């Protein structure tokens, strides 16, 4: 464990019910606690698995246990598993210093498909995400995960992208025991996904 | 889910509050645990059930909360520490038993009720605050202020329960019970539990047997005496503590998640030198002397607590008895509208309340950024309504109910109940559900509607319940309906699990909480034994299901039952691969020109179906679709096809 340049680091993981948001925060949180940090995780829930907006708030500290909710405008890092949800979180928790990592693959809301007016233009969404972040990165996590044979691997690809850019105080090595513990039957696939995330992530232009 | 019984004292782990409480119960040496699942309390018993055999303790998912608490009390009566867990709705249903065990006292070993409250009702039908029960019924109550306390309070609370011979309550809220944080593990003792119910009078026991609530007035007086002694104990309890300057400009009195939010707020406002926080862990009986000491050091006092102004009320009530020359405080909180007495607490709400009382300026982000926030078009962050999972049998069931009631044509409606299927209030279930109350209420209401024909009522009534709900609280309503010739159709959505709360077993499933073969109670046999006509169908067979419901509805007399049987999709997909290859033929899909006006994406609305506005066609999202095949049966053009995968 090391002292953090900002304490706590406030990380928001944004996605849609069923994507694996809770799993992402668990992987990161377990690894950080094993490294000696205090971690508090709060989740929007009730809508997990049911198509609603889901986010996890992680507060990472070298000093103490913080509350499970991040106040308005106080995110340091946003991990966006879906573009609309990334923008939604930036609206509430973003600020001039926030760093964002986004998976550009949309998940269409059912009420929206019903209204017929279509999902917002992806390029326009990404443009807004970029303008509302001090730095923004993009990684085509779902596309890569589907190539690897399982859409859920997108989550580990996104974590790889976070690590690559040192957005949380974790190394790939610190994740290995957590992956072995949480996914004993899919260690190789998850490790490969973690590396793929580090390779594929790029600055959002 | 972490292994809550890991043998690693002193190590740090990431636990949700419920797991911390379960670990605390193991460290307290419980021998018996019972519960009915309910968010946010379910993981307490869930995590204990995983380790029950190894730790040689008994764990059960009871049929409902009332049986759970009575079963737990029996263990206490026979000398085994017992834990009972439920959500606040469950606590409401066990008040009658609590009102007598508070008089009778307990056995030689303690019993603790852990109740999970759900402020903002994230996954509930109400947001009741459980704490007033402690004052009303004279029961000691504690509330953990973080994850470590959620664990550490358990051995303490069993000590209270046994020293004073009273049942005790731990209240937690969603943001502790379901949030995750660091836990430093302690030791789990090895205890050889020995159960025996002593039937003779034992004058040395805290309460002489037999364990009974009469003579009630005498025992009521005795419970008040016990509570005075508990109060003395609470005065010096380390779960109550103060941080801040000796003479703060503002004293925060808080408990539970409010403790963490208060620290966050003071930190965000950089007001550590101005604000003191008195954090209470033992809420009832109130540690009055401790509170009086801190009140004497500040003029202004604000209460930060979840849901109701409980501490605010009891502390202001207490200070009303102070002598005229005593120091008087200015109290702020929910009664002054600085905080809401509805919805959950947030760090922002606490910051806002403090800045208002102390007149501090606070802006979380600069004006330039706020311009960007305001410039985001509303359509770019559209709402996502909750819906049934892709492949959920309930979507098909409500499709059949909707069509059957439409064919019947007498303006029939559904009385709803508590489970995933509650979402049928909205577009997920085609707005079929028209009443929504507590568990069991849909069938009770149907009983009443079904007696109103003498007053001209002629609408078909369909009560829709889940399988776990059926065993929990529907059986008496069906007995009542058959006995009194009430006219309604009961539909049981049997997906083989308590799905809403995490797939816990129930009396109709194969295994007990401990993973042992259960005596499966057949719901159709129960219904037939009561005397109801019973039909069983597969909701994915839309034609047969619709016809069956229509036939039952048109019977128009007596209480009759349809069981719609199909495994929860989340359970199925863990065991099996996708059954079909789903495709949409773009040449057959008529898009906007479809005779039924895009029935699939506008009305049926499975998340696996996407309306591709550019192409003017429907397509399938391969990541979301679980290939249940139901949409192939609703497409009027046959554009959606399912092909069985060998």
B425/B478 same-domain check: yes
Residue A169 has a pLDDT of 96
Residue B2 scores a pLDDT above 80? no
Query: What CATH number is associated with residue A97?
Result: 3.40.920.10
Digit-coded pLDDT (tens) for B404-452: 999 999 999 999 999 999 999 998 999 999 999 999 999 999 999 999 9
Q: A38: helix, coil or strand?
A: strand
Residue B205 has a pLDDT of 62
Check: pTM over 0.80? Answer yes or no.
yes
Contact B181 A146 (CB under 8 A): no
* Average pLDDT score over residue span B304-319: 98
Note whether B33 contacts A: Cβ–Cβ < 8 A. Answer: no
DSSP state letters, B239-269? TSEEES-SS-SEEEEEETHHHHHHHHHHHHT
**Bridge partners (DSSP) listed for residue B184:** B12
Q: What is the mean pLDDT of chain B?
A: 95
The answer as to whether B148 is a domain residue is: yes
Q: Residue A98 corresponds to which tokens in the numbers above?
A: 């926030």
Contact B364 A116 (CB under 8 A): no
The answer as to whether A197 is a domain residue is: no
The answer as to whether A55 is a domain residue is: yes
The answer as to whether A149 is a domain residue is: no
Which of B69, B143, B58, B77 has its CA nearest to residue B113? B69
B174/B280 same-domain check: no
Q: Compute the distance between CA of residue B28 and CA of residue B187 in angstroms, rounded to an integer.
A: 9
Domain count, chain B: 4
B523/B632 same-domain check: no
Residue B468 has a pLDDT of 96
Q: Compute the distance between CA of residue A186 and CA of residue B600 in angstroms, rounded to an integer.
A: 36
Determine the longest span between alpha carbons in chain A, in angstroms: 51
Query: What CATH number is associated with residue B601?
Result: 3.30.70.20
B445/B581 same-domain check: no
Which of B138, B147, B76 has its CA nearest to residue B107? B76
* Average pLDDT score over residue span B162-178: 97
The answer as to whether B143 is a domain residue is: yes
Q: How far is CA B380 from CA A12, A124, B142, B360, in A?
A: 19, 9, 45, 34
Query: What CATH number is associated with residue B317?
Result: 3.40.50.920
The total of other beta-carbon atoms located within 10 Å of residue B212's CB is 14
Domain count, chain A: 1
Digit-coded pLDDT (tens) for B599-643: 888 888 898 998 888 888 999 998 889 999 999 999 988 999 999
Query: What CATH number is associated with residue B418?
Result: 3.40.50.970
The answer as to whether B383 is a domain residue is: no
CA B318 to chain centre: 32
Q: Compute the distance between CA of residue A17 and CA of residue B395 in angstroms, rounded to an integer.
A: 17
Domain that holds residue A55: 9-135+168-178
Q: Compute the distance between CA of residue B202 and CA of residue B209 in angstroms, rounded to an integer.
A: 6
Contact B386 A112 (CB under 8 A): no
- Domain stop point among B549, B574, B599: B574
Q: How far is CA A51 from CA B63, B385, B423, B610, in A?
A: 30, 7, 12, 13
B326/B280 same-domain check: yes
Cβ atoms of A79 and A57 closer than 8 Å: no
Q: Compute the distance between CA of residue A89 and CA of residue B298 in angstroms, rounded to an integer.
A: 39
The answer as to whether A185 is a domain residue is: no
Q: Residue A156 corresponds to which tokens in the numbers above?
A: 């580990």
CA B109 to chain centre: 27
The answer as to whether A145 is a domain residue is: no
Closest approach of B364 to chain A, Cα-based (Å): 6
The answer as to whether B250 is a domain residue is: yes
Cβ atoms of B606 and B613 closer than 8 Å: no
The answer as to whether B371 is a domain residue is: no
- B243 phi, psi to nearest 5 deg: -125, 140
Residue B591 has a pLDDT of 86
The answer as to whether A131 is a domain residue is: yes
Residue A170 scores a pLDDT above 80? yes
B68/B86 same-domain check: yes
Give, for B529, the enclosing helix (H) or strand (E): helix B523-530
Cβ atoms of A108 and A39 closer than 8 Å: no
Q: Residue B3 corresponds to which tokens in the numbers above?
A: 């292994």
- Domain stop point among B559, B574, B589: B574
Q: What is the mean pLDDT of chain A?
A: 92
B206/B255 same-domain check: no
The backbone region for B43, taken as left when phi is positive above 0, alpha when psi lies in -120 to 50, beta otherwise, is alpha
Task: Choose from A31, A113, A118, A184 for mutation: most chain B CBs within 10 A.
Answer: A113
Residue B503 scores a pLDDT above 90? no
Chain A and chain B share a number of CB contacts under 8 A equal to: 196
B8 preceded by cis ω (within 30°)?
no
CA B436 to chain centre: 16
Q: Percent of chain B having pLDDT more than 70? A: 98
B317/B174 same-domain check: no
The answer as to whether A151 is a domain residue is: no
The answer as to whether B245 is a domain residue is: yes
Closest approach of A170 to chain B, Cα-based (Å): 16
Domain that holds residue B150: 12-190+198-235
Closest approach of B381 to chain A, Cα-based (Å): 6
Task: Choose from A28, A69, A90, A183 for mutation: most chain B CBs within 10 A.
Answer: A69
The answer as to whether A203 is a domain residue is: no
Give the ipTM.
0.94
Handedness of CA B19, B21, B26, B30 (dihedral sign): negative
The answer as to whether B364 is a domain residue is: no
The total of other beta-carbon atoms located within 10 Å of residue A44's CB is 17
SS3 assignment for B51-95? HHHHHCCEEEECCCHHHHHHHHHHHHHCCCCEEEEEEHHHHHHCH
The answer as to whether B386 is a domain residue is: no
């Amino acid at each position: 464990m090391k002292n953090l340049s900002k304490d706590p680091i406030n990380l928001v993981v944004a996605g849609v019910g069923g994507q694996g948001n809770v799993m992402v925060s668990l992987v990161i949180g377990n690894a950080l606690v094993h490294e000696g940090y205090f971690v508090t995780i709060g989740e929007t829930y009730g809508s997990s698995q049911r198509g609603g907006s889901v986010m996890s708030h992680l507060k990472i500290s070298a000093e103490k246990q913080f509350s499970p909710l991040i106040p308005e405008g106080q995110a340091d890092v946003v991990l966006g598993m879906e573009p609309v949800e990334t923008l939604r979180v930036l609206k509430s928790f973003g600020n001039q210093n926030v760093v964002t990592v986004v998976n550009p693959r949309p998940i269409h809301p059912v009420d929206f498909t019903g209204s017929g007016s279509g999902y917002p233009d992806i390029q326009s969404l990404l443009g807004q995400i970029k303008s509302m972040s001090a730095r923004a990165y993009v990684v085509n996590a779902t596309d890569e995960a589907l190539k690897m044979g399982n859409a859920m691997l997108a989550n580990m690809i996104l974590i790889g992208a976070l690590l690559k850019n040192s957005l949380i105080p974790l190394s790939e090595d610190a994740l290995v025991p957590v992956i072995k513990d949480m996914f004993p039957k899919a260690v190789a696939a998850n490790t490969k996904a973690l590396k793929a995330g580090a390779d594929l992530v790029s600055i959002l232009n | 889910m972490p292994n809550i019984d890991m043998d690693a004292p002193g190590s740090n782990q990431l636990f949700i509050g419920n797991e911390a409480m379960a670990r605390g119960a193991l460290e307290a040496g419980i021998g018996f645990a019972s519960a009915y699942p309910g968010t946010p309390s379910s993981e307490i018993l869930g995590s204990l059930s995983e380790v029950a055999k190894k730790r040689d303790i008994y764990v059960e998912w009871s049929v409902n909360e009332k049986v759970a608490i009575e079963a737990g009390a029996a263990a206490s009566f026979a000398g085994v520490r017992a834990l009972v867990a439920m959500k606040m709705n469950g606590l409401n249903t066990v008040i009658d038993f609590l009102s007598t065990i508070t008089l009778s006292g307990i056995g030689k070993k303690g019993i603790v009720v852990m109740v999970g409250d759900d402020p903002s009702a994230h996954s509930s039908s109400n947001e009741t605050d459980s704490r007033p029960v402690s004052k009303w019924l004279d029961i000691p109550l504690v509330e953990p202020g973080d994850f470590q306390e959620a664990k550490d309070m358990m051995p303490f609370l069993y000590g209270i329960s046994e020293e004073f011979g009273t049942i005790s309550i731990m209240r937690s809220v969603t943001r502790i019970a379901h949030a995750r944080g660091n836990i430093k593990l302690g030791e789990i003792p090895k205890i050889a539990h020995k159960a025996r119910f002593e039937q003779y009078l034992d004058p040395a026991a805290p309460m002489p047997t037999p364990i009974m609530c009469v003579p009630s007035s005498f025992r009521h007086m005795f419970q008040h005496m016990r509570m005075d002694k508990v109060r003395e104990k609470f005065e010096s309890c380390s779960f109550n503590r103060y941080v801040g300057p000796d003479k703060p400009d503002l004293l925060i009195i808080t408990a539970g998640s409010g403790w963490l939010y208060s620290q966050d707020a003071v930190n965000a406002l950089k007001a550590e030198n101005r604000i003191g926080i008195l954090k209470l862990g033992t809420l009832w009986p109130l540690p009055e002397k401790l509170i009086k000491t801190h009140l004497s050091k500040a003029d202004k006092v604000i209460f930060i607590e979840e849901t109701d102004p409980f501490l605010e009320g009891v502390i202001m009530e207490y200070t009303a008895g102070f002598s005229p020359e005593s120091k008087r405080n200015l109290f702020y909180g929910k009664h002054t509208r600085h905080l809401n007495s509805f919805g959950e607490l947030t760090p922002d709400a606490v910051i806002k309340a403090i800045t208002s009382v102390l007149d501090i300026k606070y802006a979380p982000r600069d004006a330039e950024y706020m311009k960007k926030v305001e410039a985001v078009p509303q359509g770019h962050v559209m709402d996502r309504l909750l819906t049934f999972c892709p492949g959920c049998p309930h979507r098909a069931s409500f499709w059949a109910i909707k069509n059957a009631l439409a064919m019947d044509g007498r303006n029939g409606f559904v009385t709803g109940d508590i489970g995933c299927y509650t979402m049928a209030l909205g577009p997920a279930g085609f707005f079929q559900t028209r009443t929504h109350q507590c568990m069991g209420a849909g069938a009770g209401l149907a009983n009443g509607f079904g007696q109103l024909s003498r007053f001209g009522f002629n609408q078909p009534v369909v009560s829709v319940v889940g399988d776990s709900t059926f065993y929990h609280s529907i059986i008496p309503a069906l007995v009542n309906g058959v006995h009194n010739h009430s006219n309604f159709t009961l539909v049981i959505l049997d997906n083989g699990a308590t799905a809403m709360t995490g797939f816990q077993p129930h009396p109709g499933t194969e295994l007990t909480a401990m993973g042992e073969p259960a005596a499966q109670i057949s719901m159709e046999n129960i219904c037939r034994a009561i005397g109801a006509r019973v039909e069983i169908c597969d909701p994915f067979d839309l034609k047969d299901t619709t016809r069956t419901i229509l036939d039952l509805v048109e019977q128009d007399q007596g209480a009759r039952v349809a069981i719609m049987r199909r495994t929860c999709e989340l359970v199925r997909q863990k065991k099996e691969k996708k059954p079909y290859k789903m495709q949409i033929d773009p040449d057959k899909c008529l898009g906007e020109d479809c005779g039924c006006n895009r029935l699939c994406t506008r009305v049926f609305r499975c998340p696996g179906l996407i309306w591709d506005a550019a192409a003017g066609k429907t397509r399938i999202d391969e990541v979301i679709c679980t290939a249940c095949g139901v949409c192939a049966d609703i497409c009027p053009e046959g554009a959606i096809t399912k092909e069985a995968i060998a």
